[in-house]
């Protein structure tokens, strides 16, 4: 019941809202405005047309609402009440070829709320010239074409409408063709037959004119024609008529209407890897037909990344010359190519720009040696292959596998046997790396075979790598000898070398020492022969107090050992106490130095003494 009641009330509510809206919406305003009017041009006075006081217009916050449109073509001046243009109005963009072009806006007043619909009728002006789709049209006509033959030409187009659109065509005067225009259909009509032998080509100028005031046949383009000489003549209607003329020189001022244009659609640069930083890769060039600063071109790199790094860390461009330089040394194995976007910008206001793509290709050089994958020693181990004793000539024994990080001919590998235990037993494929037997294996062949294989690339200069292949000629593992006989440990080899060096050093030192000892002994034997060297029994006798400690009996208190040495080349003799068993031992420096006659007296006394208590050794120097 409630839903039915609400349904019945809906028309009443809508009617009430419509009546309220009519109360808000007041009379409409309509203005005619020409396109391309300058900014702040007056369209009309809203306050006067609505009969509003200027003070009320300001207090009620008058504004223009475009209904969500981004562009605001007009606005109201609250101090004067004028509706003025706020930006350029282009009828062709708004309405195209439509005969009527109306822009509707709302004038909003607050306190109380009022809406006034304002219609702007945009009038066309002759601001566009007729244009053909192509600037040059080529036609091929047989010289046998009959008189009156027609050739269709695509009509020109003018963005304006009405009288400002294309109205007529003019064909340059010639001897063969006339122009026929019927319902905007343009045709060339052959009036006189052609003769190829007289004239192979003809250049005709067709001009399309609109009906605007002034008529337009094209726009001024300083880059095509920068100066004009215009002659104006004035003639009266007298008899005879008199006239005068005036020539005007017209120079077309430049505006920045042309962006820079690169000489090529894209550029390619080739550089070898391991290049020097700062080397030149290529050069880009762009031209701008504008004049002075409008035609000054500046080059720069567009922001981008190469392998996660800024492109500026790889290349740089000279802003004045367009030369592109390498910032770093490239590695073909890491980066083979990349693209750079260069922007050419002129110095006009506003500046115009264009972009071009530069592809940089990095070429390979032979900077990587071949890498042997098999056989590859791991640590101190080594690879061995078993060869059956019954293997015939041409049997596959093993294969050397290698790769090269370079490309092209730098990665073409060849295999060669550098050294072999039996040079005539095995061969290797130059390009395959397959090791095969050259003949049947015989009993006389050694069970242990060692091959040294070299792998070379085809670069310039060529790089190589070597590996050792150990082959055991056996039918089962039980016959395999100890592998220590085939290979050796590099560390043990070094230790053995150290031991040999140490042994040689010790032996040399020992032999040197023996030679020195023998030399000393030989030198001693060459001295004068000793006259007396032996133990002398000296009986107890009286010795002077200054030579020994004598007890009351007149003999030495204890036993002393003496050495007596007599030489023929000495004028003096020494008497020394060498070993003592008593506390009263004579000091070593208390030497008895006497003449030979003194010793004769002493020995005489000793011979008379019957007691023997000491051994004296005499030495005469």
Which tens digit of pLDDT belongs to each residue from 64-76? Answer: 888 766 678 888 8
Q: Is residue 279 part of a domain?
A: yes
**According to the model, what pLDDT value does residue 567 have?**
46
Average pLDDT over residues 375-397: 78
Judgement on whether residues 117 and 146 belong to the same structural domain of the protein: no
Question: If you write DSSP's letter for every residue of 419-483 in order, what string do you get?
Answer: EESSTTTEEE-TTT-EEEESS---TTS-SEEEEEEEEEESSSS--EEEEEEEEEE-SSGGGPPPG
Which of 344, 363, 382 finishes a domain?
363
Q: Between residues 582 and 527, which one has the greater pLDDT?
A: 527
- The segment with the largest mean pLDDT, out of 103-117, 336-350, 439-453, is 336-350
Which of 431, 456, 474 finishes a domain?
474
Average pLDDT over residues 513-542: 65
pLDDT surpasses 90 at 285: yes
Judgement on whether residues 400 and 380 belong to the same structural domain of the protein: yes
Judgement on whether residues 381 and 418 belong to the same structural domain of the protein: yes
Give residue-wise pLDDT tens across range 407-424: 888 899 999 999 998 888
Q: Please, which residues have CB within 8 angstroms of residue 395's CB and are 6 or more apart in sequence? A: 388, 436, 437
| φ and ψ at residue 16, rounded to 5 degrees | -65, -40
Using only C-alpha atoms, what is the Rg of the chain? 62
Q: Between residues 574 and 404, which one has the greater pLDDT?
A: 404
Judgement on whether residues 356 and 386 belong to the same structural domain of the protein: no
Q: Is residue 499 part of a domain?
A: no
Verify cis geometry, omega within 30 degrees of 0, for the bond prior to 214.
Answer: yes
Which of 427, 449, 474 finishes a domain?
474
pLDDT surpasses 90 at 435: yes
| φ and ψ at residue 208, rounded to 5 degrees | -105, 130
Counting residues of the chain whose pLDDT is more than 90, the rounded percentage is: 29
| φ and ψ at residue 617, rounded to 5 degrees | -120, 125
Q: Is residue 437 part of a domain?
A: yes
Give residue-wise pLDDT tens across range 310-362: 999 999 999 999 999 999 999 998 999 999 999 999 999 899 999 999 999 99
Judgement on whether residues 119 and 156 belong to the same structural domain of the protein: no
Counting residues of the chain whose pLDDT is more than 70, the rounded percentage is: 75
Distance CA 225, CA 219 (A): 11
Lowest mean pLDDT among 126-135, 361-370, 419-428, 577-586: 577-586
Distance CA 199, CA 463 (A): 69
Judgement on whether residues 146 and 173 belong to the same structural domain of the protein: yes
Give residue-wise pLDDT tens across range 17-40: 444 444 444 558 899 998 888 888
**According to the model, what pLDDT value does residue 126 have?**
85
Q: Is residue 411 part of a domain?
A: yes
Give residue-wise pLDDT tens across range 153-186: 888 888 888 888 888 888 988 989 999 988 778 8
Per-residue pLDDT band at 300 (split at 50, 70, 90): very high
Q: Is residue 44 part of a domain?
A: yes
Q: What share of the chain is helix, strand, coil (3-state, %, to 5)?
A: 15, 35, 50
Token pair in block for residue 488 = 């050796």
Q: Is residue 346 part of a domain?
A: yes
Judgement on whether residues 157 and 104 belong to the same structural domain of the protein: no
Domain count, the chain: 4
Lowest mean pLDDT among 47-56, 139-148, 398-407, 539-548: 539-548
Sign of CA dihedral 432, 434, 435, 439: negative
Q: Are 426 and 472 in contact (CB under 8 A)?
A: no
Q: Is the pTM of this model over 0.75?
A: no
Per-residue pLDDT band at 289 (split at 50, 70, 90): very high
Give residue-wise pLDDT tens across range 505-514: 999 999 999 9
Token pair in block for residue 446 = 């050694």
Environment class of 195 (CB within 10 Å of its CB; exposed 0-12, middle 13-18, buried 19+)? exposed
Q: In what order do the strands lie in the sheet with 448-457?
A: 384-387, 464-473, 448-457, 413-420
Environment class of 365 (CB within 10 Å of its CB; exposed 0-12, middle 13-18, buried 19+)? middle
Q: Is residue 516 part of a domain?
A: no
Q: Are 90 and 119 in contact (CB under 8 A)?
A: no
Judgement on whether residues 382 and 461 belong to the same structural domain of the protein: yes
Judgement on whether residues 355 and 293 belong to the same structural domain of the protein: yes
Give residue-wise pLDDT tens across range 543-557: 444 444 444 444 444
Mean pLDDT of the chain: 79
Q: Which domain holds residue 358?
A: 261-363
Distance CA 360, CA 301 (A): 14
**According to the model, what pLDDT value does residue 526 have?**
64
Distance CA 438, CA 421 (A): 14
Distance CA 502, CA 507 (A): 9
Pairing mode, if any, of strands 532-533 and 573-580? Answer: unpaired
Average pLDDT over residues 375-401: 80
Q: 104 by DSSP, 3-state: which?
A: strand
Q: Between residues 52 and 369, which one has the greater pLDDT?
A: 369
- Reading phi first (left if > 0) and then psi (alpha if -120 to 50, else beta), residue 13 is in alpha
Distance CA 48, CA 56 (A): 12
Q: Is residue 89 part of a domain?
A: yes
Judgement on whether residues 77 and 167 belong to the same structural domain of the protein: no
The residue with tokens 């242990």 is 448
**According to the model, what pLDDT value does residue 587 have?**
47
- Reading phi first (left if > 0) and then psi (alpha if -120 to 50, else beta), residue 365 is in beta
Q: Are 108 and 115 in contact (CB under 8 A)?
A: yes
pLDDT surpasses 60 at 293: yes
C-alpha dist (Å) from residue 369 to 39, 273, 476: 74, 16, 37
Judgement on whether residues 202 and 117 belong to the same structural domain of the protein: no
Which CATH number characterizes residue 419's domain? 2.60.40.60
Measuring CA to CA, which residue among 568, 324, 366 is closest to residue 463? Answer: 366
Distance CA 561, CA 536 (A): 10
Judgement on whether residues 81 and 52 belong to the same structural domain of the protein: yes
Distance CA 137, CA 129 (A): 19
């Amino acid at each position: 019941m409630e839903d039915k009641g609400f349904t019945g009330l809906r028309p009443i509510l809508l009617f009430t809202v419509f009546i309220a809206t009519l109360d808000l919406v007041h009379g409409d305003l309509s203005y005619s405005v020409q396109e391309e009017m300058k900014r702040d041009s007056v369209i009309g006075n809203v306050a006067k047309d609505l009969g509003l006081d200027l003070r009320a217009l300001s207090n009620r916050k008058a504004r223009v609402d475009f209904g969500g449109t981004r562009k605001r073509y007009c606005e109201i001046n609250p101090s004067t009440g004028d509706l003025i243009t706020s930006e350029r109005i282009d009828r062709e963009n708004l309405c195209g070829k439509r005969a009527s072009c109306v822009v509707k806006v709302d004038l909003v007043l607050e306190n109380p709320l009022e809406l006034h619909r304002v219609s702007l009728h945009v009038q066309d002006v002759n601001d566009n010239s007729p244009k053909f789709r192509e600037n040059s049209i080529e036609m091929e006509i047989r010289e046998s074409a009959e008189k009156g033959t027609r050739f269709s030409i695509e009509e020109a187009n003018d963005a304006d409408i009405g009288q400002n659109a294309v109205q007529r065509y003019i064909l340059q005067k010639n001897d063969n063709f006339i122009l026929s225009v019927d319902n905007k259909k343009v045709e060339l009509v052959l009036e006189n037959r052609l003769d190829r032998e007289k004239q192979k080509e003809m250049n005709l100028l067709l001009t399309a004119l609109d009906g605007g005031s002034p008529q337009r046949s094209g726009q001024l383009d300083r880059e095509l024609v920068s100066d004009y000489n215009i002659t104006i003549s004035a003639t009266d209607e007298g008899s005879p008529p008199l006239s005068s003329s005036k020539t005007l020189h017209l120079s077309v001022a430049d505006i920045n209407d042309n962006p820079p244009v690169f000489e090529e659609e894209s550029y390619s640069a080739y550089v070898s890897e391991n290049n020097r930083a700062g080397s030149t890769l290529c050069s880009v060039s762009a031209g701008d037909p504008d004049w002075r600063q409008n035609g000054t071109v500046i080059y720069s790199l567009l922001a981008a990344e190469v392998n996660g790094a800024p492109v500026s860390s790889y290349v740089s461009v000279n802003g004045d010359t367009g030369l592109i330089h390498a910032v770093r040394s490239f590695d073909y194995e890491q980066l083979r190519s990349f693209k750079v976007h260069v922007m050419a910008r002129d110095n006009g206001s506003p500046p115009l720009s264009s972009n071009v793509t530069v592809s940089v290709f990095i070429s390979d050089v032979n900077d990587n040696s071949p890498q042997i994958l098999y056989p590859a020693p791991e640590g101190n181990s080594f690879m061995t292959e078993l060869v059956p004793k019954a293997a015939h000539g041409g049997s596959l024994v093993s294969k050397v596998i290698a790769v090269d990080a370079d490309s092209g001919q730098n990665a073409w590998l060849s295999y060669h046997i550098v050294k072999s235990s039996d040079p005539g037993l095995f061969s290797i494929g130059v390009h395959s790396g397959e090791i095969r037997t050259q003949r049947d294996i015989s009993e006389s062949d050694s069970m242990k075979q060692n091959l040294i294989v070299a792998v070379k690339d085809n670069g310039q200069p060529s790089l190589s790598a070597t590996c050792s292949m150990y082959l055991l000629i056996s039918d089962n593992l039980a016959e395999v000898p100890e592998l220590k006989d085939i290979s050796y440990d590099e560390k043990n080899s070094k230790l053995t070398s150290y031991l040999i060096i140490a042994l040689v050093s010790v032996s040399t030192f020992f032999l040197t020492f023996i030679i020195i000892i023998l030399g000393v002994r030989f030198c001693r034997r060459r001295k004068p022969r000793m006259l007396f060297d032996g133990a002398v029994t000296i009986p107890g006798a009286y010795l002077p107090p200054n030579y020994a400690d004598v007890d009351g009996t007149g003999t030495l208190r204890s036993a002393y050992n003496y050495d007596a040495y007599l030489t023929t080349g000495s004028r003096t003799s020494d008497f020394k106490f060498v070993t003592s068993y008593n506390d009263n031992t004579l000091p070593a420096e208390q030497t008895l130095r006497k003449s030979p006659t003194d010793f004769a007296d002493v020995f005489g006394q000793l011979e008379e003494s019957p007691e023997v208590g000491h051994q004296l050794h005499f030495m005469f120097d």
